[in-house]
A and B are shown apart, each in its own frame.
Chain A
Amino acid sequence: MMDTMLLDAAEKLFAASLSPAVITALESGADALPLWATLTQAGLADVLISETQGGVGLTMAALFPLARAAGEHGVPLPLIETALLRPLTGTLPDGPMAIASTVAHTAAGWHAPRVPFGAVAGVLAVELDGKAQLVPLKHATRQAHGLDADITLTPETLAVALPLPEGTALAELGALAQAARIAGALSKVLAMSIEHATTRAQFGRKIADFQAVQHQLAELAEAVQLASLAAEMGFVAGRPEKGALMPALAKARTSALAARGAAIAHAVHGAMGIAQEFPLQIFTRALHSARLAHGAEGFWQDRLGAALLSSGQTSADFVDTALTP
C-alpha cells in the first residue's frame, strides 16, 4: 500500500513539474538544481534508505515502478541512479549522481564518454584504478550532448573524491537504471503513437484504421510488455554484484527493444515525429541514448552467452537458476 501511495505521489509530482519545455530547457543547459530540489524534497532520491535513517525503506523490487514512471515522464535527471547509490553514500552529496561505467586514461585526465545524465549531474560515480568513488563535478570538464556529457576528470577534481564501498557494481547499477528508463519511455511512445494514430486522418479516415498501422502498434505493445518485464526482473533480483547476470538480462533485452520501439513510433508519426517542436523526439532520443548507455544489447548478450556456455547447463536450467530472480 505504502508503495502504491508513493508511486501515485511521485507520478503526480512528475506530471506537475515536467513538461516538454522543462525537459528541453535542461537539455539546453538550464540550471537543473531547482527541479532536483523538488524531487529530493519529496524524498524520491532516498527511497531505498531505511526508515530509521530518514528514507522509505523500499526494496529494489518496489523501486522498479518508480524507476519506470521516471522514464515514462522523461525525468531529465539521474534520479534512479542516485536512488540506487544513496544507501552506499553517507549524507546526500551535492547534486544528482550520474554513473560512468568505463573511463579511459588520457593526457588530460580520466575521460568518460557520453555519461547518461552527465550534463545535469553534480557528482559522478566512477571506478578509477579499481576503486569506486564519487567525484564532485564542479571543476570537471564537460562537453554536453543534451542530457549526456563527455566528462574529463582532472587531478584536482579527484582530490575531493569520496570512496564508495569496495566492489560497488557501478556498471550493473547504471544498466538497471537505464533499463527501467527504456521501459518507461517505451510506454510513453506507445501512448503517444496510439493518440496520434487515432486522431491523425489520411485518405479520409484515421490512420489507426489501417491494418499496417495497427499491426506495427501491436508489435510496439509487445516491446513495452517485454521491456517492462525484463527491466523489472533486474530490480526484483536485488542489489547486483559485479558481473551479475540479471542486470545483463535487463539491459540486453531493453536495449534491443528500445531501438525497435523508437523506429515504430517514428514510422507511425510520419514526418511530424521528426520535428523538434513535437515531443515524440524527447522520448525517442532518450531511448537511443539509454540503449547505448553502459553498453548496448550485444555487449550484455556477450556476458550472458559466456555464462550460459561455461555453465554446462541446459538453457532451461540456466533460465531457472541464473535468469529467474
Chain B
Amino acid sequence: MSTPAFAPLSYANLPDSAEALRARIRAFLAPRMAKLQPQVRARSWMGFDADFSRALAGAGFVGLTLPKAYGGAGLDHFSRFVVVEELLRVGAPVCAHWIADRQSGPLIARYGTEAQKAFYLPRIAKAEAFFGIGMSEPQAGSDLSAIRTRAERISDGWRINGQKLWTTYAHRAHYLIALVRTSGTPEDRHKGLSQLIIDLKTPGITVRTIPDLAGDSHFNEVFFDNVVVPEEALIGQEGGGWAQVNAELAFERAGPERIYSSIVLFETWLDALRQRPANAVTQRLAGRLVSELATLRALSVAVTARLAAGESPLLEAALAKDAGTGFEQELISLLADVIAADAPPDLLATLHYLMLVAPTFSLRGGTREILRSMIARGLGLR
C-alpha cells in the first residue's frame, strides 16, 4: 500500500479553556453591536473604529497570543480562535487593531529584538499602535518577489525609495511593516528582501487614499521619497524577508476570518425569513448554507489544532482558505437569487454592499489561483 498523497485532517474540539472566553467576549460585544445596522456590520474586518479597538484591548481581548511579559494575554491559538470568531460573527469593526493583532504582533514577537518587543508589543496589546502591511506594489501583486521598493544602508540607518500599493488603512495606521529590497535587483526574486518597521509619520512618506467600488476608503498608495529610518527599523534577518513574510501569511490563512465575511448577510436574511411563512426553496437553502458553514468551521478549528500543536499546516490552511472564501462568495449569490420584491431595506443594503466587495474575498492574502497552485504543489503535482 502506498502512502496517500493527501490525508485529510481529523475532527478537533475547541478546548474548554478557549470556550470559557466565549461568554466574556459576547458580553463585551452585545451592548456595543446592538445599534449598528447590518450594512455597517457587514464591513467586519474592513470596519475601522479606534475607540472600539481600545475598549476591546481594555477588556483584555487584543494581543491574546502575545507573551504576558510584553502586555499580551499569553493565550493559545484556540483562545484567539474563539475571540476572533465571536468578533467576526457579529461584524465587529476590528480593522484598526486587526493587522497588528493578527500579523505584526506575532511577527515582532517571533523575530524582534528585545528592544523591539519591549517597544511595540505592549502598545499593540493596548490598541495604541496600529499597523499596515507593506507588501503589494504596482509591479508586485501575486508575484510578491518582484518588489522594487529599495532600502539602502546609510551611516546610521536605511534610506527608502519606492512605492507600496493596496495598503489597507495606511492613512490611519501608525506603522507599516514593509517588505523591501535591501540588496540585488528585482531579477534576484526572493533573495535580498528584508522587512522594516516604518513609522508612518517619518518625513518623505506620502499616503494617498484609493476609494473602492463601494465608495469606502481603506486602500492606499504609500510613496517613499528618500525616507530615512534608523538602523533598528530592521525586523528579523537582513535578507530574510521572504521567509518571514511567508510565515506571516501562514498566520493569516489559518483563522476563522475566511468563513465569516458574509455571515451578517446570512443572519439578516434568516431574520427576514422568519417573518414570513416557510417556503421550500428558502428552507432548503438555509439548510445548505448552515451545513457548509458548520463543516468549514470544523475545518478551521482542525487547522488551528495543528498550529496549536506547533505544526505549519500550509497545504491544509490554503485548502481551508480557498474553500472558505468560495463559501463566502457563493452565499451572496445564492441569497441574491432568492430575494423577493418585498425584501427588507437592511437586507437589500447589506446584499448590495457585499455583492460589490465579494471578489476581494478570494484576492486578499493570496488569490484563489495562487492558493490552488500551492495546494497542487502540496499534492505533488508540481
Contact = CB atoms under 8 A, between A and B. Distances in A.
B215 interface: no
Given A190-B6, A218-B319, A314-B270, A229 B376 contact: no
A316 B89 contact: yes
A229 B285 contact: no
A191 B5 contact: yes
Nearest to B376: A214
Interface in B240-279: 263, 266-267, 270, 273-274, 278
A233 B298 contact: yes
Interface stretch (B39-47, B227-235, B288-296, B347-355): B288-296
B338 interface: no
A318 interface: yes
A236 interface: yes
A287 B327 CA distance: 23
Contacts of B8: 183, 187, 224-225, 228-229
B293 A304 contact: no
A306 interface: yes
A9 B381 CA distance: 30
Nearest to A320: B22
Contacts of B295: 226, 229-230, 233, 249, 253
Contacts of A229: 8-11, 295, 298-299, 302
Contacts of B284: 298, 301-302, 305
Contacts of A236: 11
A226 B287 contact: no
Contact of A217 (B267, B274, B290, B376): B376
Given A15-B1, A187-B8, A225 B381 contact: no
Contact of B375 (A11, A218, A252, A301): A218
A305 B290 contact: yes
A225 B299 contact: yes
* A interface secondary structure, majority: helix
B201 interface: no
A215 to B, nearest CB: 4
Interface string A308-321: 11001011101100
Given A218-B376, A319-B297, A305 B287 contact: yes
Contact of B319 (A187, A221, A298, A318): A221
A214 B270 CA distance: 37
Contacts of A211: 369, 373
Contacts of A228: 8-9
Contacts of A309: 270, 273-274, 278, 283, 286
A298 B283 CA distance: 10
B335 interface: no
Nearest to A223: B323
Given A12-B1, A229-B9, A233-B295, 14 more contacts: A187-B4, A214-B376, A219-B372, A225-B299, A249-B294, A253-B292, A298-B288, A302-B280, A303-B287, A304-B286, A304-B287, A315-B290, A316-B89, A325-B11
